[in-house]
Amino acid sequence: MGRSAAFFDLDKTVIAKSSALAFGRPFYRDGLITRRDVVKSAYAQLMFRLGGTDEQTMARTRDYLATLCKGWPVEQVRQIVAETLHELINPYVYAEAAALIEEHQAAGRDVVLVSASGDEMVRPIGELLGITDVIATRMGVVDGRYSGEVEFYAAGPSKVEAVSELALERDYDLADSYAYSDSYSDRPLLECVGHPTVVNPDRALRKLAVENAWPVLEFRHPIPLGRRLRERPAVPVAAAALGVGVGVAIGIAWYGRHRRTRAAAPTA
């Protein structure tokens, strides 16, 4: 038996907003994007969330982001993220997610952030949470600027490919590992581990969770890191436990209703 790990999606699972859109304001302020780009980026993010499991939708989103970033100085992007991280991300980290991450780390599991957002954004967010392992989108770079090519797009089945490669490298036992996500587009990621859990799920993912009796967690308390360390609130763990109970109860109710329906159906 290998070691186990815990894989966390980022947006709406660990933080209460889109990590990519969170930096739109400073990118606009520093001249990297126009007002029209801000609107188009928000629309692209919405389309991905509504239909992200479709390969064409994911490909269009990937290509749009590559075109948008083409020519940006990589160091400028990193500097913007570093300067605004505590203002734009820190207040929106779910306390429940932070507590769950700490529980996995205390149990000796490696915690890995897995996100379609760019590595330049995801890695600093991981460091904020005490996470060093990150799977994120990587853009091509030529002479210190983004080339407009995508080396790796961390979405859909590609997440599973990267997770499987890391598991092989680290000797993780995926059957004994955990995964958390809010989006149906992460169905492949959730299905590749033995302990999948959905967090703040969209409608399609909630339905899938009920059908498979997966735990359902509802995270509702974004709290800045400094305040979290001072207060160490008990609310997050209680909320997580309640979420698991609700998820199991929903699964049992669905199964019972399904059995009753089948029993009532006339036989041929």
* Predicted TM-score (pTM) of this structure: 0.81
> Catalytic site residues?
9, 11
Q: What's the pLDDT score for residue 265?
A: 46
Where do we find the tokens 């605004």? 84
Contact 246, 216 (CB under 8 A): yes
Q: What are phi and psi of 111, to 5 degrees?
A: -110, 130
Q: What's the pLDDT score for residue 162?
A: 98
The interaxial angle of helices 55-69 and 35-51, nearest 10 deg, is 160
Contact 118, 20 (CB under 8 A): yes
- Give the tens place of pLDDT for each residue, 153-186: 999 899 999 999 999 999 999 999 999 999 998 9
Q: What's the pLDDT score for residue 179?
A: 98
Per-residue pLDDT at 242 exceeds 50: no
Beta strand 133-142 pairing with 178-181: unpaired
The pLDDT of 245-261, averaged and rounded, is 37
